[in-house]
Amino acid sequence: MKSAKQAVADLLAYADVTIGGTRPWDITVHDDRFYKRVLAGGSLALGESYMDGWWDAPKLDQFFTKILAAELDYMVTSRHDILLAGVLARFTNRQRRSRAFQIAETHYDVGNDLYEAMLDKSMTYTCGYWKDAKTLEAAQTAKLELICRKLGLKKGQTVLDIGCGWGSFAVYAARKYKARVVGITISKEQLALAKERCAGLPIEIRMQDYRDVQGQFDHIVSLGMFEHVGPKNYRAYFEAARRCLKDGGLFLLHTIGGITSVKAIEPWIDKYIFPNSVLPSIAQIGTAIERLFVMEDWHSFGADYDTTLMAWHRNVEKRWPALKARYNERFHRMWTYYLLACAGTFRSRKNQLWQIVLSKDGIPGGYASVR
């Protein structure tokens, strides 16, 4: 019978990863308890043991690109975790109204100082558009401009921003296009800073669940929020969007997507980063919009999220000396693992980024795609 160390080494070999190797994606194990822990606990244990300092890789993003491309994620995810997640997803609504604020408390309220250090000046916490951009700030500006152009945004029009973050889109649309924006968030920290950033502009920021929005708007945007809605609520989400969208208006959905339909997210991400979140698939979105929306445009640029995440990671590392007084080293390793593991998911093309333009009844004569 092979040892736990040999079993882990054999698994990693499928992905061309060596324990104690010298390549950027090879790992160094600092605590021999790592092997049994990972075999017993799967991907959750892999992440937690990294947080505890039991192993390292010179380039964690390259390590994850290797193991995801080889589909080792299926081998190292604990069957118990998969079973439990499946049962919870089937018999409970983990994104129901009473639990909706958990994601804010765990992730978005962790501290505005961290996000100010990590993000660009616009405080945009979604994928940048790197087609012609060379800096993070330029990529985020290009993304915000792309959204406005896809909407055909005009002066004086009203826009509902579902999951407005720190107000990056609202500020851009109000300043450049003279639009009037209502942004909703479920994060106390985002609410406070967004109101400060939007002061003096025709913008209203509310602490509100998407299910409670009343009134109608010329356009709707939702940037990086749909990942928290959950499959049991997709239909209700799109019903709310249709109710709030004026006839002739457009709804732009900007979301991370998965290549398969699932009901739960990877266990480590669920526990430490995005509780109760699920990545939608093309099939799930398609089913949820039936008889509610016409799909006018579907733009995929997931590879740009790899570049965005690496830029965020560099920003955090550059500013960590100023952050470490508040955030301990275990948090630092957790955040590093989060950013670089996610970069690997996009680089290996396991995760996607979509901008989907929807209309209520179809654009007469057709929609002209914008890139």
- How confident is the model over 176-190, as pLDDT tens digits? 999 999 999 999 999
Residues 304 and 155 in one domain: yes
**β-strands 217-223, 180-185 pairing:** unpaired
Give the number of domains in the chain.
2
Question: Is the residue at 82 inside a domain?
Answer: no
CA distance 52 to 50: 5
In which band, very low, low, confident or very high, does the pLDDT at 191 lie, cut at 50, 70 and 90?
very high
**Are residues 13 and 142 both part of a single domain?**
no
Residues 347, 271 share a domain: yes
What is the pLDDT averaged over residues 291-303? 98
* C-alpha 193 chain-centroid distance: 20
What's residue 359's pLDDT? 98
Kindly state whether residue 277 falls inside one of the protein's structural domains.
yes
Query: In this structure, is residue 315 part of a structural domain?
Result: yes
Instruction: Report pLDDT for 101.
Output: 58
For residue 87, the model assigns a pLDDT of 44
**pLDDT attached to residue 89:** 44
CATH code where residue 329 lies: 3.40.50.150
Domain range spanning residue 341? 100-359
The answer on pLDDT for 46 being more than 60 is yes
Best CA proximity match to 114, nearest among 313, 267, 252:
313
pLDDT average, residue stretch 169-182: 98
Task: Compute the Cα dihedral for 28, 30, 36, 40 and give only its sign.
Answer: negative
Task: Please count the other Cβ atoms lying within 10 Å of the Cβ belonging to residue 104.
Answer: 19
Backbone φ and ψ of 281, nearest 5°: -105, 170
Q: Is the domain of 134 the same as that of 198? A: yes
Tell me the H-state helices in the chain: 4-13, 33-51, 60-69, 72-76, 79-91, 102-103, 112-118, 136-151, 168-177, 188-197, 234-244, 267-272, 282-288, 303-323, 329-347
The reported pLDDT for the residue numbered 136 is 98
198 included as an active-site residue: no
Report the DSSP pairing between strands 55-56 and 28-29.
antiparallel
Gap between the Cα atoms of 309 and 231, Å rounded? 26
User: Does some domain include residue 186?
Assistant: yes
CA count, 13 A, side-chain hemisphere, 145: 13
Band (1; pLDDT cuts 50, 70, 90): confident
Q: Is residue 350 part of a domain?
A: yes
Say if residue 51 is in the same domain as residue 136: no
- Residue 167 token pair: 């107000």
Collapsing DSSP to helix, strand or coil, 5 comes out as helix
Task: Output the pLDDT for position 264.
Answer: 84
337 three-state secondary structure: helix
Tally Cβ neighbours within 10 Å of residue 236. Answer: 14
Q: Do 49 and 131 belong to one domain?
A: no
Q: What is the pLDDT of residues 28-43, one digit of tens each?
A: 999 999 999 999 999 9
Q: What is the CB neighbour count within 10 angstroms for residue 218?
A: 20
Give per-residue pLDDT as tens, 305-337.
Answer: 999 999 999 999 999 999 999 999 999 999 999
Q: Is 92 a member of any domain?
A: no
Same domain? For 163 and 239 the reply is yes
pLDDT over threshold 80, residue 85: no
Domain for residue 371, yes or no?
no
Q: Do the Cβ atoms of 309 and 346 come closer than 8 Å?
A: yes
Rounded CA separation 229/66 (Å): 30
| 177 and 318 share one domain | yes
Q: What's the CA gap between 87 and 81, in Å, rounded?
A: 10
- Please, is 209 exposed, middle or buried when counting C-beta atoms within 10 Å of its C-beta (0-12, 13-18, 19+)? middle
Model confidence pLDDT, tens digit, residues 203-258? 999 999 999 999 999 999 999 999 999 999 999 999 999 999 999 999 999 999 99
Residues 211 and 160 in one domain: yes
Residues 72 and 107 grouped into a single domain? no
Are residues 305 and 267 part of one domain?
yes
* pLDDT tens figures, 330-346: 999 999 999 999 999 99
Last residue of a domain, one of 62, 77, 92: 77
Domain annotation covers residue 248: yes
pLDDT at 110 over 90: no
Whole-number pLDDT of residue 22: 97
**Mean pLDDT, rounded, of the chain:** 92
Residues 50, 134, single domain; the answer is no
According to the model, what pLDDT value does residue 74 have?
66
Query: What was the pLDDT predicted at 72?
Result: 85
Residue 353: predicted pLDDT: 98
How confident is residue 82, by pLDDT bands cut at 50, 70 and 90?
Answer: very low
Q: Give the other-Cβ count within 10 Å of 237's Cβ.
A: 21
Residues 6+ apart with CB under 8 A from 62: 24, 25, 344
